[in-house]
Structure 1
């Protein structure tokens, strides 16, 4: 007789197998999940409800990105380039450009944290919003003569995305080396034709994605960096992805508020090396790197990459270091505010030291679960004395840190666990009073367009929405 599909013995067997698999998965969670809270949550749910949590754990559970860059193989490739007169670790050969943070800055730990140098002789230009940023990006690409290294988390096949495509394709056809890296999840909707026509023009196009079959649909370990380096002459880092949405042309999030920076000088050597590690993961080859052009820049800069392949909690520790370094002021802007315990404690301690602590977040949500969790965290922060502000004209997507009157960091990292531990991110710290003053002017204008969050925002919220906030809060380790 045929076996009944839903017979009691068959169901019992399936459940038994799931529980056995769940136990093994729980052991894996205890051994690999970085935070004790996350490990306990995963282990209990995998043992008690494996039928519900095994699939989410397969997609979200691991907190480590293994096999990112084989250090010895990477060093061998670097040595081969050096033998040919090309030096991708340029800064190590030019110690005259390497600087140290002043003793009173409180930022000395950043050099050991990221293993990247603080470099003198740079120039940084602030790019506010999409129109200015895209104009600068495209102008640099069109002037390229040797090599373009470019990577973005998200690219849309719209007018903005096609403008980037056409500019890169034109340079590739002209003989310029174009190496284009895109994230497999962030660009999931990008048509194959977009990639194929770039490749046909001569560009080298690769997707950043894990290669293990189990992680085929892995939404963690995304490459969230936005980086462009042209000819070793000029580079760009910041919050903008590529699409008309980032120009403020898509309701209901328009107008879109974002910040990018244009960089020139020795720091481009480090930026190329950051790209090289990502490119090496995707291709097992090094990209076309050039010695950075050195001119008369006067600014101290440090590129600060972070990601789940780091031995330390680099992303979280960067924010802790920056907040702890503040003596009079620390202003932060982030579209998402889901800090871990270390960052929240650093914010609270800064308030206790008498530091002016302000955080700018959006009024409008683009991800509702994150927004609800962020609202609860904002309430907790306000109770601790942190001044929280909601930007009102449109969606606020910039990632900015301003420390006192001389240090500012801009890049791709958000104030959430995904940026702290699960994504590859890139910030650039600039130590320059003039640039810090420009960032201050920008943020003052942003705060003028924001309303300060009071304790009443949470208290006046209907009970059912407060319940949703607390439920969303439970997912903070993966938001």
Structure 2
């Protein structure tokens, strides 16, 4: 009976037809197996966050909309926007803003040295949010930096995902609290509708200082992100620092997450600079399971469709949905230079296996795949023609498209930055091997079976 009732629920609320069919048949046919899986892993709507976000907007938190007059000098006209950024602007419900100084941060040392320098330069407050934070060498270095700033009166808000940071010790968090730092887990299971859900994650990595500078990218806080893990060796990852009005978009994302986690509204600085620190146009796009639309998937699909000569993508987990895969195929068919950079070394074996199943489908249309061999590839970056680059936290998989809270920085109108991203990709391609589209069928039958099975499990990976 519960299986039948849950099947009705799946038909009504599962986002995709394939998912609705798969869940409803499983719930009716194998209720003792499917029922607990469905209620713990099956849903992709995050209950309650939308209402909390609307409440925060009603309380005047969404000042990016309220302060359009002060932002006006930095807002780009529609005819100035690249087609790849038009949809992103609508999805973010924020304008693309010019006047930013943007710096590409390649690998862990550059990223965390820059973040820690930014922490020490903060004058009013620090917003600090990561998916994974570990109590190891880097984690303790971050902790001591934050404690030092708190000791001189800087307000610090520290937000973490309790699933991603499950190994973070109570003592670590208590040290932060004792130093006067406000600490909160994201509370993924908060609310009646989320109580039994284990499948949602807040995968965002955000640092904001004084509402003027933000850092966004793929790194978490742990020694392996500095290449100090013997198993993975060199950890290939990318972050970006943005100074200027666009950093307010990262701040807005943080305060909405903080409001969900703590039910408190932060009093922060929303002033824009009188003098632009740079010339780049940038947009911060938060996406997640509380969005009315599948924002991450739509962003990537539009970016791929807008490419005229080139689209290069780096992602550690490549399990695209049908719309994204079709967009890549069409790009290949119209002669766009489509390259996908993925890891040679797996960290999640099911995801690694499932990725093999896309090689032939995409490869038949001219899409080229490269496996990065110099350590583990974890960066999430995209380069579109000579015009637009993205750096963020979202992978090309179902989890990032539908289950994770993610954030992406979209940067345009900066030839110097675009050239740096191009150079970064070219260096990565030199450390990679090109993969044949027939590689899967050169493997034993049992490996091919494992790949097909892994693809079936991709919705819950």
Q: With structure 1 as the length reference, what TM-score do the two structures score?
A: 0.92
- Residue in structure 2 matched with residue 418 of structure 1 by the alignment: 399
- Residue in structure 1 matched with residue 184 of structure 2 by the alignment: 206
TM-align CA RMSD: 1.7
After superposition, the Cα gap between the structure-2 partners of 1:134 and 1:296, relative to the gap in structure 1 and judged at 3 Å, is: closer
1:437 pairs with 2:419: yes
1:265 pairs with 2:247: no
1:125 pairs with 2:106: no
Q: Select which of 174, 178, 201 maps to 1:222.
A: 201
Gaps of 5+ in 2: none
After superposition, the Cα gap between the structure-2 partners of 1:314 and 1:137, relative to the gap in structure 1 and judged at 3 Å, is: same
After superposition, the Cα gap between the structure-2 partners of 1:206 and 1:259, relative to the gap in structure 1 and judged at 3 Å, is: same
Deviations 1:50-77 (A, max 9, x none): 1111111121111101110424421232
Classify the secondary structure of the residue corresponding to 1:232.
coil
- The ranges of structure 1 where at least 4 consecutive aligned residues each deviate by more than 6 angstroms after the TM superposition are none
Deviations 1:154-182 (A, max 9, x none): 01110001111111122112211101110
Classify the secondary structure of the residue corresponding to 1:415.
coil
- Residue in structure 1 matched with residue 290 of structure 2 by the alignment: 309
Q: With structure 2 as the length reference, what TM-score do the two structures score?
A: 0.95
2: CA distance, partners of 1:139 / 1:170: 13
Question: Which structure has the larger Rg over C-alpha atoms?
Answer: 1
Residue correspondence of structure 1 range 15-94 to structure 2 within 5 A = 20-70=1-51, 71-78=53-60, 90-91=67-68, 93-94=70-71
- Residue in structure 1 matched with residue 82 of structure 2 by the alignment: 105
After superposition, the Cα gap between the structure-2 partners of 1:358 and 1:72, relative to the gap in structure 1 and judged at 3 Å, is: closer
1: CA distance, partners of 2:171 / 2:30: 43
Residue correspondence of structure 1 range 73-472 to structure 2 within 5 A = 73-78=55-60, 90-91=67-68, 93-100=70-77, 102=79, 105-107=82-84, 108-209=86-187, 210-212=189-191, 215-216=194-195, 218-290=197-269, 291-293=271-273, 294-431=275-412, 432-472=414-454
After superposition, the Cα gap between the structure-2 partners of 1:419 and 1:476, relative to the gap in structure 1 and judged at 3 Å, is: same
1: CA distance, partners of 2:288 / 2:348: 22
Cα displacement (A) at 1:433: 2.0
Classify the secondary structure of the residue corresponding to 1:254.
coil
Deviations 1:122-170 (A, max 9, x none): 0100000001101001111112221001100001110001111111122
After superposition, the Cα gap between the structure-2 partners of 1:466 and 1:118, relative to the gap in structure 1 and judged at 3 Å, is: same
After superposition, the Cα gap between the structure-2 partners of 1:243 and 1:88, relative to the gap in structure 1 and judged at 3 Å, is: farther
Cα displacement (A) at 1:221: 2.1
- Residue in structure 1 matched with residue 458 of structure 2 by the alignment: 476
After superposition, the Cα gap between the structure-2 partners of 1:361 and 1:264, relative to the gap in structure 1 and judged at 3 Å, is: same
After superposition, the Cα gap between the structure-2 partners of 1:342 and 1:185, relative to the gap in structure 1 and judged at 3 Å, is: same
Q: Is contact 2:243–2:277 with CA below 8 Å preserved after alignment? A: no
Deviations 1:352-384 (A, max 9, x none): 111000000000000000100011123322233
Q: Is contact 1:91–1:97 with CA below 8 Å preserved after alignment? A: no
After superposition, the Cα gap between the structure-2 partners of 1:101 and 1:419, relative to the gap in structure 1 and judged at 3 Å, is: farther
Q: Is contact 1:69–1:277 with CA below 8 Å preserved after alignment? A: no
After superposition, the Cα gap between the structure-2 partners of 1:404 and 1:31, relative to the gap in structure 1 and judged at 3 Å, is: same
1: CA distance, partners of 2:336 / 2:460: 30
Q: Is contact 2:207–2:214 with CA below 8 Å preserved after alignment? A: yes
2: CA distance, partners of 1:398 / 1:90: 34
Cα displacement (A) at 1:102: 4.3
Q: Is contact 1:91–1:270 with CA below 8 Å preserved after alignment? A: no
Q: Is contact 1:406–1:435 with CA below 8 Å preserved after alignment? A: no
Deviations 1:34-53 (A, max 9, x none): 11111111111111101111
Classify the secondary structure of the residue corresponding to 1:121.
strand
Gaps of 5+ in 1: 1-19
Q: Is contact 1:177–1:288 with CA below 8 Å preserved after alignment? A: no
